[in-house]
Amino acid sequence: MICYLIGNTYKALAHMSMYNATYGNGGAFETDRKLIEIKTEAAKLRRFAAIEKKIGLEHKAEAFWQHGEYSDLLPGWKRKPGDIDLEWFKRTDIPHRANADAPVQPHGH
């Protein structure tokens, strides 16, 4: 969510739209509010962790939460055969890939 908001702010600034960069949907003010919410939630979780540590509760993640379709694709996990189509990256039928090293030609030539 925060990446989406930051992207909106960047695009608005790139197009010199000051209203959308500040007050508009996904602007800097909304991004600031979301960051404050994230920091507040992180502080709550740190307090819970301190209380759990104080009373001797040790958190141990179940195996169910340690692996999954998304988390196994994160860096550090071994890739499974077939989870990435390597042939797709070798395709030459996509115009911008087939001539990536060719000089730029003006339109109509």
> According to the model, what pLDDT value does residue 22 have?
78
> According to the model, what pLDDT value does residue 95 have?
62
Identify the three-state secondary structure at position 92: coil
Q: Give tens-digit pLDDT for 68-82.
A: 777 766 665 666 677
The answer to whether 28 and 46 are in contact (CB under 8 A) is no
| 33 dihedral zone (left: phi>0; alpha: psi -120 to 50; beta) | alpha
Domain assignment of residue 13, yes or no: yes
Residue in 54, 58, 8, 11 with CA at minimum distance from that of residue 31: 8
Domain assignment of residue 62, yes or no: yes
The answer to whether 26 and 2 are in contact (CB under 8 A) is no
Residue 94 has pLDDT above 70, yes or no: no
State the Cα–Cα distance between residues 65 and 83, nearest whole angstrom: 20
pTM score of the predicted model = 0.48
> According to the model, what pLDDT value does residue 47 have?
96
Q: Give tens-digit pLDDT for 34-43.
A: 889 999 999 9
Domain assignment of residue 12, yes or no: yes
Domain assignment of residue 107, yes or no: no
DSSP 57: -
Q: Give tens-digit pLDDT for 56-72.
A: 998 887 877 777 777 76
Domain assignment of residue 51, yes or no: yes
Residue 89 has pLDDT above 60, yes or no: yes
Averaged pLDDT of the chain: 76
Domain assignment of residue 104, yes or no: no
User: Looking at the 3D structure of the chain, how many domains does it have?
Assistant: 1
Domain assignment of residue 8, yes or no: yes
Range of the domain at 19: 2-98
